[in-house]
Amino acid sequence: MSKIKPAKGSPYARILGVGGYRPTRVVSNEVILETIDSSDEWIRSRSGIATRHWASPQETVAAMSVEASGKALADAGVAPEQIGAVIVSTVSHFKQTPAVATEIAHRIGAVKPAAFDISAGCAGFGYGLTLAKGLVIEGSAQYVLVIGVERLSDLTDLEDRATAFLFGDGAGAVVVGPSDEPAIGPTVWGSEGDKSETIKQTVPWDEYRSTDSEQKFPAITQEGQAVFRWAVFEMAKVAQQALDAAGITAEDLDVFIPHQANMRIIDSMVKTLKLPEHVTVARDVETTGNTSAASIPLAMERLLATGAAKSGDTALVIGFGAGLVYAATVVTLP
């Protein structure tokens, strides 16, 4: 018989607060057109993106995360010293070690929390949320800060006509804590490593280091049509599985917050899922671009701030991207 005592966590977990930070510089499509042969009309028709935010040198991954975290903590009514773990999802923090989560934890005033980074691309927020839920339920942390943050402008090839217009910068954060009722559903997640070449960094860091100075800095590249087909058809199935796992139907939804990759992907998923007219759909990509791990919490914050969604609404969230990886779940909005 095991001598280990049972965990003393909460029976359930929920998102208690959300915060976001968008860099002050707004970049229009006209700026993108300075380095690629395209048009504003083409960019909008292919992606739905009109503007995006690019960070200044001072708006680092850590700095943006601190700003978003402060807002999330205030929204949740949770003090920094109550945070037991900090989870940061990012692909654009260029220090291999230490994890940027440790710096963020210190800067927000958390007291010796567990702190670590994860790399799950555009599905990173869903991965972090799932880990946070588990920590709260098992009792390893009463409150967990989950951050999705990117400076993708650092990894954008401005001469690549297929991707130069896609990416933006920003940070989104949520506080996850105890709940008396289910408020974060089961996560449907996974990976398809046979498609890992579909979205990737152009040059590995060690190869970049070993080449001559003429080598372009590493950037994100993708096979656009293959990603589009996968996202629309396969991710709609995953989204439906998340609804089934939560025991609800599309009719029960109030809000749909997909990863803000591309407006055409979002609209196609809405159609495939046959979402009712009453469901509010996040389309933050138009003014924020694709911010990878940050896109879902940023979109969530904007919906709540503008009144397009309200506290207590039932939302389906799904992230998908490089790996290829994905994660979907149903949550109650804070």
Block residue for tokens 């001072």: 58
| Structure tokens, 265 | 């992907």
Let me know: does 69 contact 85? Beta carbons within 8 Å. Answer: no
**Catalytic pick among 29, 122, 262, 278:** 122
262 has catalytic annotation: no
Q: Could you give the C-alpha distances from 161 to 99, 177, 217, 225, 321, in angstroms and in order? A: 33, 43, 17, 14, 19
Q: What is the DSSP track for 9-45? A: --SEEEEEEEEEE--SEEEEHHHHTTTSS--HHHHHH
The identity of residue 204, as a single letter, is P
- Position 234, amino acid: E
Type of residue found at 149: V
Active site annotation includes 93: no
3-state DSSP call for residue 328? strand
Q: Are 310 and 166 in contact (CB under 8 A)?
A: no
Question: What is the H or E stretch that residue 176 is in?
Answer: strand 169-179
Name the DSSP letter for residue 120: -
Pick the catalytic residue: 29, 53, 93, 259? 259
Amino acid found at 236 = A
Q: How many residues does the chain have?
A: 334
Contact 182, 306 (CB under 8 A): no
Residues 6+ apart with CB under 8 A from 229: none
Mapping DSSP to helix (H, G, I), strand (E, B) and coil, where does residue 243 land? helix
- Do residues 244 and 255 lie in contact, with contact meaning Cβ atoms separated by under 8 Å? no
Three-class DSSP category at 334 = coil
Active-site annotation holder among 29, 53, 93, 290? 290
Residues annotated as catalytic (active site), given as ranges: 122, 259, 290
